[in-house]
Amino acid sequence: MKNFQIYCITAVSYFFAILFIYASVSKVLDFENFQSQIAQSPLLSVYAGSISYFTIVIEFIAVFFLMIPAKRILGLYFSLGLMSAFTMYIYLILEYSEFVPCSCGGILENMGWRSHLIFNGICVIIAGFAIVLAERHQGQKAIKFISRPVVVIFISSLSVSLLYFQSEKQIRKNNNFTRRYIPHAVEKETHLNIDYNSFYFMGDDSHNLYLGNTTAPLNITVVKKDLSGFSKYRIPLETKSYQFKSLKIAWKAPFYYIYDGTVPVIFKGTISNNDPLHKVTENEMFFDQLNVLSEGNYLFRSQSSKFKNFVLGYYQNNNVKLEYNLLGTDEAGYIENDGLLLSDLQTKMSVYLYYYKNEFVAFDHTKGRNSNRLKMIGFQKKQKTETVKLPDGSTKIKNPLQQSVKNAFVTNNLLFVNSNSKAVHDGTMQWNKSSIIDFYKINQQYYSGSFLVPNRHGEKVKDMFIAGEYLYILIGNEIVKYHFAQPVLEQFHR
């Protein structure tokens, strides 16, 4: 009987030693990928760096003790603790995670998550059984060889649970510049060649998308939402009467609004017939960005010569009101505080997204207050321009800043950002072969997740638009339609 117990203990010890050698060596050989995959875990994203090292070290320590007969019981306790932690981790993934991530390599590549949960559970039972045999063989009392494994299982499971709750708080509220990628977040439906790469999204209605063109600013392209075709419309604006520099078009169905804020005038028209343009404002304000909130009500961005900074303002009922408190007046500098102004008419929320800072300001545009600042994903230090004085007395920027945001869209209290800023554990390959879209829950002030949009013909996403369950992107000479997967759609209704 004693020989049988020794054989069982030895067999279990060798089993775990082989298991942990395989697991730890495979992690070391592909360490960057292993660390990156932990960063995608819905539970441990925040601690990917430390956990990746800690797991490998503990596995090697367990193997060391398992191979020494005198220390074998200690090795079995390490094995029990590891397998208990792994079991609790997979249980939390399956029961509480918003999505189930891709596998982390090793055995998981050939085994489903529920199969691996069963496998780990069996390993916990085997380790516990071997510990009981080993403790009894050494003459320990029953209370000890029963209570000790229970305590190890409890502490290991509790540790993983605490890591989960702390990680959730850090990743959502106290962003630590770690992305959480949602696998298969979008699925391509169709695409349409639109001949040129100079388009941008203006807006939509129930059947069509409307595109402006930076190189032909008086042209509006109307694209069917099923991408079955498109048509063009020419705005009947006489440009010789004004010294326009860069005309832009905003859209609020059924009207388009054409403007150039360096010339204080806004025109309104429709594309359903040949009605002439109507001048809705003139000599009221200078601006460089405009959001149409409702008929006769506009949110705009202007410059404050007093504070040397940008300022947001409202045009309502033929009156202009500047809201200095929304962006603040503490940090001077037009370049450092440059950004993108977006509005969600459905939720009445607006966002000012800084180009050179990892943050944005969200506020209720019906009240012009209740602003909140939220940090964005991106491992980038605060940037500040430095200038150098030239011999002719002029000044030149010495250090060009890196723009962290390419474009963005806001809808249903969600801000989607096409990021130009790398985060911790981002792989070079995925960065080069795709565009990274981060999205944030504005009303609850947390980071929700990220997903990848693959390049097409070597081109990255230039602009994006969201209509219901669909994501439209402009990329190269094409417009591409994607359908959001369930993990993303759930965020729309939270």
Segment 381-406, tens digit of pLDDT: 555 656 556 566 555 555 566 778 88
C-alpha 20/C-alpha 59 separation (Å) is 6
Residue that finishes a domain, picked among 139, 172, 205? 172
Q: How many domains does the chain have?
A: 2
C-alpha 469/C-alpha 414 separation (Å) is 13
- Tell whether 403 and 336 lie within a shared domain: yes
- Listing DSSP states for 321-379 in one string gives EEEHHHH-SSS--TTTT-EEEEEETTTTEEEEEESSSSEEEEEETTTTEEEEEEE-S--
- Tell whether 198 and 159 lie within a shared domain: no
- Tell whether 167 and 191 lie within a shared domain: no
- Tell whether 219 and 126 lie within a shared domain: no
Determine the structural domain holding residue 102 and report its residue range: 2-172
Mean pLDDT of 101-116: 64
How confident is the model at residue 14, as a pLDDT? 92
pTM comes to 0.72
C-alpha 439/C-alpha 446 separation (Å) is 9
- Tell whether 219 and 163 lie within a shared domain: no
Mean pLDDT of 269-282: 82
Residue that finishes a domain, picked among 172, 202, 237? 172
- Tens digit of each residue's pLDDT (9 = 90 or more) over 470-481: 999 999 999 999
C-alpha 48/C-alpha 379 separation (Å) is 15
Question: Is 178 a member of any domain?
Answer: no
Question: Is 244 a member of any domain?
Answer: yes
How confident is the model at residue 482, as a pLDDT? 96
Mean pLDDT of 47-61: 83
Question: Is 181 a member of any domain?
Answer: no
How confident is the model at residue 389, as a pLDDT? 60
- Tens digit of each residue's pLDDT (9 = 90 or more) over 200-257: 999 999 999 999 999 999 999 999 999 999 999 998 888 777 888 889 999 998 999 9
Give the DSSP H or E segment for 188.
strand 186-193
Name beta bridge partners: 323. Answer: 312
- Tell whether 121 and 198 lie within a shared domain: no
- Tell whether 459 and 432 lie within a shared domain: yes
